[in-house]
Amino acid sequence: MKTIVQTAIDAGNFKTLVAAVHKAGLVDTLNGNGSFTVFAPTDDAFAKLPEGTVEGLLKDKDGLTKILTYHVVSGKVMAKDVMTMRSAKTLQGQEVIIDSSDGVMVNNARVVKADLECSNGVIHVIDTVLMPK
């Protein structure tokens, strides 16, 4: 089974996310032993951000790291577990709000594909980039 980063690279629709993870220096973390749950925005999700946002973030390592770690929860949280949660604390420190009343929403992002299992956690694909407050 592949790590979170390897799975994201192989999927092919996370090019922006993978580039951001490299830029922020989080590859070793997300390839590491820990168990992580990643709410992974697709390239289309990044494309929905205002023009210049992604380029600006790629130049701001601290800001980029805050945003990326806001998409990661410690531990392997499968979809069946997410359905019973109302929130989850992210590695960034803030919580994301989870609403499973109509599909699964994480803040304002819809989970479009769940449970991509990896050797060190799980990826849930989302359609919007999460922004910490």
pLDDT tens by residue, 51-109: 999 999 999 999 999 999 999 999 999 999 998 999 999 999 999 999 999 999 999 99
Query: Any idea which residue has 């951000």 for tokens?
Result: 49
- Is 85 part of a structural domain of the chain? yes
Query: Any idea which residue has 């993870």 for tokens?
Result: 21
Q: Which residues fall within 8 angstroms of residue 79, CB to CB, at 6 or more apart?
A: 104, 111, 114, 115, 124
In this structure, what token pair is assigned to residue 32? Answer: 């590491």
- Is 131 part of a structural domain of the chain? no
Domain containing residue 65: 4-126
Ranges of H-type helices in 35-74:
43-47, 53-58, 61-69
What is the pLDDT averaged over residues 116-130? 98
pLDDT > 90 in the chain, percent: 98
pLDDT of residue 130: 98
- Is 14 part of a structural domain of the chain? yes
- Is 133 part of a structural domain of the chain? no
pLDDT of residue 126: 98
Measured distance between the N- and C-terminal CA atoms of the chain, rounded to whole angstroms: 35
Structurally, the chain folds into a number of domains equal to 1
